[in-house]
Amino acid sequence: MQGPHARTPRHSVSRDFELRSGEKQQVETAPIAIKFENVSKSYSDRTFLAGGLKNYALNGFSATKYRKSHLVLSNISFEIRRGTTVAFVGRNGVGKSTLLGLIAGIMRPDSGEITVDGRVSSLLELGAGFHPDLSGRENIELYGVVLGFSRSEVRRRVDSIIAFSELAEHIETPIRFYSSGMLARLGFAVVSQLDPEILLVDEVLAVGDFAFQAKCNDVIRQFRASGGTIVLVSHAAHNIIELCDEAFLIENHGIAASGDPREVMKRYEDRG
């Protein structure tokens, strides 16, 4: 069975702050990698002047009370421990990607507290930072630096990235000539070879040909085995059940179910 108890966490257990949490079982006391406390997030209709020119003239940039807003996540709390693989499931538009955006620090919550401990790399959209007119090699450097690595770090690993992507013969070609599968490979290669501590994956496992998908899954498994933390958003039940220690079902702005991925997926599928 694949539960949170299946693997020994990378870090040992007896630290002060962990002991304080009382009667938790030993294996669950790996340090917390991601913690949400009462996090709420809504999007405001911030097309400027939405509240009328007068309101902006009177209130300046802080005219929040005149904005309409849609609630996305309300009062969400959870903890993800280091070394676990966790999935968020739920219907489209329910706020899964918002959640990943919050973890990555791209957005700020309206209220509540988010603590993230570790270097986050996101596979939110493979190759988001790629420039079509630059070659694969130039894009590797660009993307790596944008992801938070120094130029020298990226340069040192550029060969292993190219090798992983299996695109060596096209690496000097501008990537506007790449197919979407090739782009995905390049993006995944950069992220996977720059060893993050926390990996956010947003439905990207479905790209690439079969062999490359298998390779991606291998990387994720290896990353997991070496103690990395993974947060996954996916609709593929077999991926979730196979890879994850825990799953969260998001519904109606909150967490509707959490725990064993098999059961959560069953509940999710039952509700259609």
Partner 1 sequence: MSTAEASAGPRKRRPKFSVSHYLDLILTLAHKEVKVRYKNNILGYIWSLANPLASALVFYFALQVIFRSSIPRYPLFLIIGLFSWQWFSNYLIGACNVFINNGSLIKKSVFPRSVLPVALNIQDAFHFVMSIPITICFMYFYDIPIGLSILGGLLFLIPAQFFLLLGIGLAISSINLFFRDMERILAITLNMMMYLSPVLFPIDQVPDPYKEWMKFNPMTPLIEAWRGVFLNNELQWGNIGLIYLYAAIALAFGTVVYRRLVHGFAEVI
Which spans of this chain sit near partner 1 (rule: CB under 8 A)?
37-38, 43-44, 46-49, 61, 101, 104-109, 111-117, 119-120, 122, 124-125, 128-129, 131, 133-134, 138, 141-142, 145-148, 150-151, 174
- Specify the residue, 183 or 257, whose C-beta has the smaller distance to partner 1: 183
Instruction: Report the distance separating Cα 242 and Cα 159, nearest Å.
Output: 31
Instruction: Report the distance separating Cα 201 and Cα 204, nearest Å.
Output: 7
The total of other beta-carbon atoms located within 10 Å of residue 135's CB is: 16
- Specify the residue, 234 or 249, whose C-beta has the smaller distance to partner 1: 234
- Specify the residue, 2 or 55, whose C-beta has the smaller distance to partner 1: 55
Minimum distance of partner 1 from residue 270's CB (angstroms): 33
- Specify the residue, 25 or 47, whose C-beta has the smaller distance to partner 1: 47
Q: Is 80 exposed, middle or buried (0-12, 13-18, 19+ CB in 10 A)?
A: buried
Minimum distance of partner 1 from residue 203's CB (angstroms): 13
Minimum distance of partner 1 from residue 35's CB (angstroms): 10
Q: Is 222 exposed, middle or buried (0-12, 13-18, 19+ CB in 10 A)?
A: exposed
Q: Are 116 and 36 in contact (CB under 8 A)?
A: no
> What does DSSP say about strands 120-123 and 198-202: parallel, antiparallel, or unpaired?
parallel
- Specify the residue, 105 or 181, whose C-beta has the smaller distance to partner 1: 105
Minimum distance of partner 1 from residue 77's CB (angstroms): 12
